[in-house]
Structure 1
Amino acid sequence: MPIAPRYLEYVTFVSLISFIFMLSPSLADPRTTIANISCKPLTNVAINTNLFPKYMEVMGTLDDFISENKSATYEMNTNEPDIYGLAKCHNDLSQDECKLCFIEAKNKLTKCIPAPGGSVYLDGCFLRYDNYNFFDESIQKNSSSYACGVPTDITNDQYMKRDFAARVDRAIANVTSMSIVNSGFGATVVKSGLLAIYALGQCWDYLGPEECTKCLNNAGDMVRKCLPAAEGKAMNAGCYLRYSSNKFFSDGALVLADKGPTECKDAWIIAAIVLSSILGLFAILGAFLGYRRYSKDKGGTKRVHKIPLALETSKLNFKYEVLQKATGDFDPLNKLGQGGSGSVYKGILPDGKTVAVKRLLYNTRQWAEEFFNEVNLISSIQHKNVVKLLGCSIEGPESLLVFDCVSNRNLDQVLFDENKRQFLSWKERFEIILGIAEGLAYLHEGSKAKIIHRDIKNTNILVDDQLVPKIADFGLARRFAPHKTHVKDGVAGTLGYLAPEYLLQGCLTEKADVYSFGVVAIEVACCIKSNVFVSDSGSVLQSVWRNYKLNKITESIDSRLMSDFQEQEASRVLQLGLLCTQTRRFSRPSMSQVVTILRNEEIEIPVPVQPPFQNSSLLAPPDTSSPSVTKDSFFSEWYSTDGISIQSSEFASLSSSQSSDFSTSENSRLLKIS
């Protein structure tokens, strides 16, 4: 009966195409009229022949993300000049409209080259590049301006002038209040008879409610100077505000602004239910077809599909049966440890070589070629502080990674395990911290492509007999193309080591590894886990920060060392750890900068600000009488704990009596953490 499945597949395909077209947005006005463009003064210092190609790289990178997120930032710290970029579309534009607006803004902004910075405001989007980090600016004198339209015909009528001004005031106030509760966006219309005032406000994503309000209030003061003109536009460093007696946005902007968080949430719930029902039908159909196909060749470890030829003939390919036998059928006695993405087993290959076999929790067989490409890339890594990846197996019922077996000890065991712990001198600790930094710097900048580990923690740092640290467990690693600065990705890793922007927004950059390194460096120096509280001092990060502010940071060093350590060196390590754990990723150094600082005591370490700490009560032992901790707790505080692995893309509430899997949602992505 071959006709039935083909018929079902045809129906599925037609249904999916129809459903996609039903959801396709209509293209309207991308509002590409230029409102203002400004270029920084050109100086001899600013002239640099490398600026134009770097500018093009900035624009290319922003282009990769602006059409998907309507907002994107860029940070490139290389040889002079450093360059930062920001693109933002107004929230009411569709993805296609946003793309068109960005293209027009990019073309307009090229006139600023070779100036060291420039910005352009179109009526639907904003684009800026500069040679310093401006991502936290809301109001800046040099970046603020306003433009007025033509005067109205009510200039000589004082009553109508006052009435017109009152309606503009009301529209500005409405837009400002809407923006505070609606992700930085507001649109309104104030009508009276035949007269109507339209207004729109938009804050950039990095502004919180307080800064957004401040920025729009300042913009409102600027556009009021235009009265009684029929239109006014204010362009601030962190926001845009416009009023007009003519309608300049679609009805969709009013719907988006009027719904607010609650109604939008309800609409999404209804849409999710409808979509889930449709997808559920497809899932049932897929399961039925999959079962028929599976039942034909069920036999345990038989291949689900043909292995790519490149992998089949590669020396990186291991037979599943060989690895299964090498580990004694994954005997618990051969288990070396548990990582964020699966268990690790000791195995002995037929040639007598001892290896570590990583049994991945997730199934990558559907993406065999992509998975092989990742393995092929990581296997080329040759560094003394990175465990060598020997190959993989994707032909069995689960995917396996094969590594050199360095040791059955990891850094967590050396520091904290009662049976395996070893007292480390300060020199040994410093060399371990430096080795981890060098390994990460190589992954980020020294290999063929940027590789982000995503799960740096003590248990994933192996140490050999000479205490040389080796970064292990690449089950969650991701590689980036050279021009990519960040991607939106499902959150994976271990709480307590996850950077805020990655945990709450899914924004993955190499700075996520930098944050994790900062936590590890402080743990090694103080020999205290980040989730353990020291009397009334809170977590070790809080204790280090408090001592840093009191100018006695070395008191946080492991007391067992007594005075047997270099005070200046220890102080720099802890200060560097605080710098690496800054809330904003742009404030953290790169790993190559970390290595340079550790090697050269003459380099001054930038002053850190307070890292993100969570109220200690949330990390106290479970108490069934205490209230549950939900995602709302993250809006103002930071959760830090160890041993909880994340591999989900849905944000779950965390009860104080139930430490379970944790992850992100679209709501959490609204947080203005870069």
Structure 2
Amino acid sequence: MYFPTIKPPYIFAVFSFLFFSVSFSDPRTTESGLFCGGANRSSADPGFILTFIQEMRSLSQELTTRRFVTHSVNSTSFHRSKTTAIYALAQCHDDLSKTECLLCFALARTRLPRCLPSAAARIFLDGCFLRYDDYRFYDESVSATSDNYLCSNDTVLVDPLQYSDHVNRAMGNAVRTAVGNGGFGIAEERGAHALAQCWESVGKEGCRVCLEKAVGEVKRCVSRREGRGMNTGCYIRYSDHKFYNDGHGESHGPKSRVIVAIALGTFALVTVFLFATYAILAKLSNTKQERRNLGLISARFNNSRTKYKYETLEKATDYFSSKRILGQGGNGTVFLGTLASGESVAVKRLVFNTRQWVEEFFNEVNLISGIHHKNLVKLLGCSIEGPESLLVYEFVPNKSLDQFLFDDKRSKVLNWKQRLNIIKGTAEGLAYLHGGSPVRIIHRDIKTSNVLLDEQLDPKIADFGLARCFGHDKTHLSTGIAGTLGYMAPEYVVRGQLTEKADVYSFGVLVLEIACGTRNSVFVPGLGSLLQRVWKLYTLNRLQEALHPCLKDELLQTQETQAEAFTTLRVGLLCTQASATLRPSMTEVIRMLTERDCGIPIPSSPPFLRINSLAEPEGSTRSYSTNSTTSNTGIRMDQPPSYTSSESSGTQRS
């Protein structure tokens, strides 16, 4: 659906023209000045319009019993990313009746939306004043930038010098009365009439300062029949005819009541229009980022080799036949596809239930499409023009590492040389992400089901749904927790601080799982979790007992292979140390694993988190994402191979 660009100021101007192009005959509702200021808000924050409506409604209710009102609204926008605040002030002149006051305010609040989406505005009518802003301004009396005055166009018919003298005296008397009599004063001097009104919030001294400045400005108008001073904290007007009431009189009969009814009805109509505008802007804001991301994706894959037709992929997977399923996850299903050329590919069919789907899709496509490494799964292209979005990856025939490690029969296929090759290849892929790729990337979900094995059993890191770009000038990211229990670093779980060392910790757990052939989540009575068991054997100098039984005969053949295995286990312990600063970088890990003369530090104790209480039956892994360090909502089961994202689509992401 196409949404036209909405410019609220022009729309409100049309409404004002339709209903108020001809001024009411009551001179106290004549608009003296409308001043808009502040940054535009509603285009970036549609919640601003809703807050504005709430504020005007509150002022209207309070003015039924008072003639001076201040009110503020603080509300969270629909994005839940920031708070919208509006402070407002309204005051009727003291000589107006209740009906006249309500009429004046009704007209003022109907005209004020012409300033939207400005974050600040003020309107002066000859009988009332209305202002809103995004800060608490109530005690302000004057402003070097906002104070203004207005002279009428018609000159006086009497002697200008004599009239000027009478005007100055009338204004002076009105000011003295206002300062000494609660902020309101009227005066008449030989045909010159004056009214001075201060807002109650400025106090006596503020009233004096404001009116004296206003008089000094309005004196420039004395050759004209009328002049008005419109300052931050007060209003002053003079005229050659009497325009004010001598007291708090009643309304002017049926005519005023008709005007009030028309004004209130018009405001109701404008309010409905404001709600409609808010709804459209909210919809636009929600879809704007989605369209931008899809546009970026489309531009990146806008060539024949990387942009696939939906029909082509549908046919390649036998119309997404259940017989071709390679794996399933929270965000979709992966199918084996065979292209017309005979090439086998993995087609990820995305299934999304929330508005986050574009963000998740864009995150994986944007990150992985710009990086190329032999130990990273290659993204071949995508399809975004069909009924659902599809990602196309290179096909990795041996599926995921966990299907080898934790299967009684297939685990014997992996000898020590192959396991060490998988460890080294995974380390090289991570080192590339952390510093060798065009962008600095933290994977956030390194685990056995996210490491795929090709024909030669070489590793390829998959699943970038949780990955995050990381600026080269930043030490860490503060983010919501996302990952898999047992693989997440303690500082990330407790404080939400994300660095490359979080990936290093996950890699260390992976190393111990590969060498020992045991899931980290398996808790053995008397021995504890995998980390606890390996650490205890290390302190007893019995590391060989931690190795998988099928490897022992092979490793005991030569001292070289024994030393190699013990070095690998020590590297795993170094990577899983409780202190992130003590963990090596992935570049240092590669050096330890490949250079014989490289010194290996003595590891310190790993964090013995009570993850064993959350352990799953062997054969399963859990991933979760939450913005709370104590909540485990959003946990779900993952099934290999993990071409699919391991994060639940129903949880918030950072």
Q: Structure 2-normalised TM-score? A: 0.50
**Which of 9, 14, 19 is the equivalent residue of 2:49?**
14
On the 8 A contact 1:652/1:662 being kept in 2, the answer is: no
Distance 1:460 1:556, change over 3 A: same
- Cα separation, partners in 2 of 1:333 and 1:310, compared to 1, 3 Å: same
What is the aligned partner in structure 2 of residue 323 from structure 1? Answer: 313
Higher mean C-alpha displacement, 483-492 vs 505-514: 483-492
The CA distance in 2 between the partners of 1:615 and 1:367, in whole Å, is 33
> What residue in structure 2 maps to residue 593 of structure 1?
588
Q: How many residues align?
A: 382
Return the offset for 1:519. Answer: 0.6
Alignment of 1:453-602 (within 5 A): 453-565=443-555, 566-602=561-597
Please tell me whether the aligned partners of residues 50 and 278 of structure 2 are also in contact (alpha carbons under 8 angstroms): no
State which of 438, 453, 456 in structure 2 corresponds to 1:448.
Answer: 438
The answer to whether the Cα contact below 8 Å between 1:496 and 1:641 also exists between their aligned partners in 2 is: no
Does 2:623 align with 1:645?
yes
Q: 1:306 to 1:518 in 2, by over 3 A?
A: closer
**Cα 1:313–1:454 shift into 2, 3 Å:** same
Give the 3 Å change call, closer, same or farther, for CA 562–366 of structure 1 in structure 2.
closer
Q: Which residue of 2 aligns with 1:439?
A: 429
Preserved CA contact (<8 Å) 1:363 1:399? no
Judge conservation of contact 2:317–2:337 (CA < 8 Å) in 1: yes
After superposition, residues 66-215 of structure 1 pair within 5 angstroms as: none
Where in structure 1 are there 5+ consecutive unaligned residues?
27-281, 295-302, 623-639, 664-668, 670-674
Residues 364, 464 of structure 2: 8 Å contact kept: no
- Residues 1:525 and 1:25: Cα distance change in structure 2 (over 3 Å): farther
Note if contact 1:410-1:460 (Cα within 8 Å) is conserved in structure 2. yes
- Residue 438 (structure 1) shift: 1.1
Over 3 Å counting, the alpha-carbon distance change for 1:617 and 1:392 in structure 2 is closer
Residues of 2 paired with 1:490 and 1:654: CA distance?
Answer: 12
- Whether the 8 Å CA contact 2:373–2:429 is kept in 1: the answer is yes
The RMSD of aligned alpha carbons is: 4.5
Calculate percent identity across the aligned residue pairs: 48
Q: 1:326–1:476: structure 2 CA closer, same or farther, 3 Å change rule?
A: farther
Which amino acid in structure 1 is aligned with residue 321 of structure 2? D
1:527 deviates by: 0.6
Q: 1:606 aligns with which of 595, 601, 608?
A: 601
Query: What is the CA distance between 1:324 and its match in structure 2?
Result: 3.5
CA distance in 1, matches of 2:293, 2:366: 20
Partner of 1:354: 344
1:468 maps to a residue whose letter is: D
Partner of 2:302: 313
**Deviation at 1:322?**
3.4
| Residues 549 and 285 (structure 1), Cα distance of their counterparts in 2 relative to 1, 3 Å cut | farther
* Structure 1 residues 621 and 325: alpha-carbon distance in aligned structure 2, compared to 1, 3 A threshold: closer
Amino acid aligned to 1:559:
P
CA distance in 2, matches of 1:360, 1:484: 33
- Asked if structure 1 preserves the Cα contact closer than 8 Å seen for 2:482 and 2:647, the reply is no
Q: Distance in 1 between matches of 2:568 and 2:295?
A: 48
Q: Are residues 22 and 436 of structure 1, via their aligned partners in 2, closer, same or farther at CA, if it must alter by over 3 Å? A: closer
Please tell me whether Structure 1 or Structure 2 has the larger radius of gyration of its CA atoms.
Answer: 2
CA shift, 1:460, in A, is 1.1
* Compared CA separation, residues 594 and 360, structure 1 to 2 (3 A): farther
1:412–1:454 Cα change, 3 Å: same
Residues 448 and 321 (structure 1), Cα distance of their counterparts in 2 relative to 1, 3 Å cut: same
1:336 aligns with 2:326: yes
Per the TM alignment, residue 442 of structure 1 is displaced from its structure 2 partner at its CA by 1.3
Conservation of the 8 A alpha-carbon contact between 2:310 and 2:383 = yes
Which one scores higher on RCO, CA 8 angstroms, separation ≥ 6? 2
Tell me how far 1:321 sits from its aligned partner.
4.1
Can you list the C-alpha shifts for 1:383-411, whole angstroms capped at 9, x where unaligned? 22212111233445554322100214211
Q: Is the 8 A contact 1:651 1:662 kept in 2?
A: no
Query: How far does the alpha carbon of each residue in 1:351-371 deviate from its partner, in whole angstroms, 9 at most, with x for none?
Result: 332111234455798796996
**2-structure distance, mates of 1:397, 1:558:** 47
| Counterpart residue number, 2:163 | none
Residues 452 and 510, structure 1, Cα contact 8 Å, conserved in 2: yes
Q: Aligned AA for 2:609? A: Q
Residue 567 to residue 326, structure 1, CA distance change in 2 (3 Å): same
Residue equivalent to 1:413: 403
AA matched with 2:622: I
Q: Give the secondary-structure state (helix, strand or coil) at the position aligned to 1:391.
A: strand
- What is the distance in 1 between the residues matched to 2:330 and 2:484? 7
